Structure 1
Amino acid sequence: MEKKYWVPALEKANDVLLQISEQPSGLKLIDLSKRLGINKSSMFSLLNTMEALDWVVREKEGTYSLGSKLGFIGNAFFKQFSLIDRFRKEASVTKHVIQETIQLAKLEQQDVLYLAKEEMPSPVRLASEPGKKLPAHATALGKALLAWLEDSELETLFTEETLEPCLTPHTLRSREELLRQLTEVRDTGFAFDLQEAVMGFCCVAAPVRDAEGRVIAAISCSMFRHEWDEKRELAQREICALAKRLSQA
């Protein structure tokens, strides 16, 4: 890996955590110092900082074990895969009810990152492969995720009144209009994309929450514009129901 912007202190902290993970409650400061070739003063600073962050816990005997914060992070890591597995199971049924492709995504700064999708056969393949990103303001998924952020977070993400990029003639261009739509999303519990990301396609999305009620992802289904009027209410109902099931799980 390119080390041009490497942070040595983080590498040392990582090495310390790996050592502790191999021998929980078995190593003292002096043991870690000798094993890793880090002087005692630097090791003390590292351990003291990691203890304050709940990355490690100092036992009565002076040995160290992993802290609760790492357990929380590790749990969050595995939960994301659990969510994808549950999505695939549940969405594989819902897609046949709506007869449309269903997507799962999360928010990354000003973008939505697609995590998974359950696809229905179609002459046109949607550009929503896992790993793909699209600007949040241009998608129903993005609006369903942005709507639950604090005003201060939205101000940080969207510092300019004009929104960029513009993907189609229907893409939202002003922050004012985006904020207005986000208020509607909070009121209704779902969001629309009316040819704002891709010409000829409309979309409805709803948020997925964790056990504490925080929005952690969103799901959506997309369809051709000429099918929208006929299937919008069905899609809205089924996507909201699917989001609720994933949240409860």
Structure 2
Amino acid sequence: MTIAEDLETGRDTDYMVPALQRGLSILQMFNAHQRTLASNDIAERLGVSVSAIYRILHTLDEMGYLRKIAKNTWELGPQVVSDGFSYLASRDLVDLALPHLNALRDRTSLSCHLSIREHTDSLYLYRAFAAQRLSVNIPIGTRIPCHCTAMGRILLSGLTPPVLDALYQYVRLDDYPPPAPKTLPELQQLIGEDRQRGWVLHRSDYSTAIATGIRNHLGEVVAAINLSGPEAVMDSEESQARFREALLLTAERISAELGG
């Protein structure tokens, strides 16, 4: 059914955005049997003129969701595949990590979190919340700058120094409180030490977190996990060593399921 037909049949379109609907409809036209489409074909299926979809096609092309392969002929762009695989990979990762993090929480009575890197942010994908009065509880979907947290620093440790330089070339670091690094050279030095150590301990006002990385079959850091709890519980070197050992063992098990 075309957009014009929607209007004719009286469907509720008050809250719909026609340009967005057309853009998504265009992407849905491509499949295993229909790999390329001409502008005229796309316009005909939408029930509009070619001029009406020109800006939409151009926008999808600029964003990588479509690729122009000949005059007025299009195919799906690489961003469609990238987004799809990123989503599937993140869901697979959560499914694999979930039982291990729940078990780690039960053994330690501390909260556990799982995150991945998106640009310079650490994106929280899962939490195993410890049900005690003083617990660290960061909601799923939270984004925190990588250089400010234990998990974020672990995620950055998976980058080579040149890639890290390029990532932070235009990012201001001096707006964050200690112990976050204030300059790119400080960040490079800190991440270099984290990379050699393989784990990070980070203290904030009332809590402490220990984080380490999850690796795929290529040995790349694809995610980070942590144990976090009240400073009073994690203050001694003995307790830190015990929690760190449990965390590293859990990371090994999750990495093994990813082929690491």
* 3-state SS of 2:30 partner: helix
The 10-residue stretch of structure 1 (109-118 or 208-217) with the greater mean CA deviation from structure 2: 208-217
CA contact (8 A) 1:20 1:64 kept: no
Q: What is the rounded CA distance, in whole Å, between the counterparts of 2:74 and 2:209 in structure 1?
A: 51
1:99: Cα distance to partner? 2.6
The 10-residue stretch of structure 1 (153-162 or 140-149) with the greater mean CA deviation from structure 2: 153-162
Q: What is the rounded CA distance, in whole Å, between the counterparts of 2:246 and 2:145 in structure 1?
A: 25
Q: What is the rounded CA distance, in whole Å, between the counterparts of 1:69 and 1:173 in structure 2?
A: 34
Q: 2:33 aligns with which of 14, 17, 24?
A: 24
Q: 1:231 aligns with which of 231, 235, 239?
A: 239
Q: 1:79 aligns with which of 89, 92, 104?
A: 89
1:141: Cα distance to partner? 0.5
1:208 aligns with 2:214: yes
CA contact (8 A) 2:134 2:229 kept: no
**Normalising by structure 2, what TM-score?**
0.71
Give the 5 Å matches for 1:27-176.
28-29=37-38, 30-36=40-46, 37-39=48-50, 70-71=80-81, 73-155=83-165, 156-157=167-168, 159=170, 163-166=174-177, 170-176=179-185
CA contact (8 A) 1:109 1:157 kept: no
Residue 184 of structure 1 is matched in structure 2 by 193
Residue 248 of structure 1 is matched in structure 2 by 256
Q: Deviations over 1:217-236 (max 9, x none)?
A: 21001122233323211222
Equivalent pairs counted in the alignment come to 231
Q: What is the rounded CA distance, in whole Å, between the counterparts of 1:173 and 1:26 in structure 2?
A: 49
Task: Look up the equivalent residue of 1:39 and give its one-letter code.
Answer: V
Query: Percent identical across equivalent pairs?
Result: 20
Structure 1 residue runs without a partner (length 5+): none
Q: What is the rounded CA distance, in whole Å, between the counterparts of 2:29 and 2:173 in structure 1?
A: 50
**Normalising by structure 1, what TM-score?**
0.74
Task: Look up the equivalent residue of 2:238 and give its one-letter code.
Answer: E
C-alpha distance 38-173 of structure 1, shift in aligned 2 (>3 A): same
CA contact (8 A) 2:115 2:126 kept: yes
RMSD of the TM alignment (CA)? 3.8
CA contact (8 A) 2:35 2:76 kept: no
CA contact (8 A) 2:168 2:184 kept: no
C-alpha distance 177-25 of structure 1, shift in aligned 2 (>3 A): closer
1:128: Cα distance to partner? 1.1
1:199: Cα distance to partner? 0.9
* 3-state SS of 1:218 partner: strand
Q: Deviations over 1:206-245 (max 9, x none)?
A: 1123333332221001122233323211222222222222
Q: What is the rounded CA distance, in whole Å, between the counterparts of 1:32 and 1:172 in structure 2?
A: 51
1:117: Cα distance to partner? 0.8
Task: Look up the equivalent residue of 1:77 and give its one-letter code.
Answer: Y
Q: What is the rounded CA distance, in whole Å, between the counterparts of 2:43 and 2:194 in structure 1?
A: 54
Task: Look up the equivalent residue of 2:152 and give its one-letter code.
Answer: G
CA contact (8 A) 1:95 1:120 kept: yes
Q: What is the rounded CA distance, in whole Å, between the counterparts of 2:44 and 2:139 in structure 1?
A: 48
1:107: Cα distance to partner? 1.9
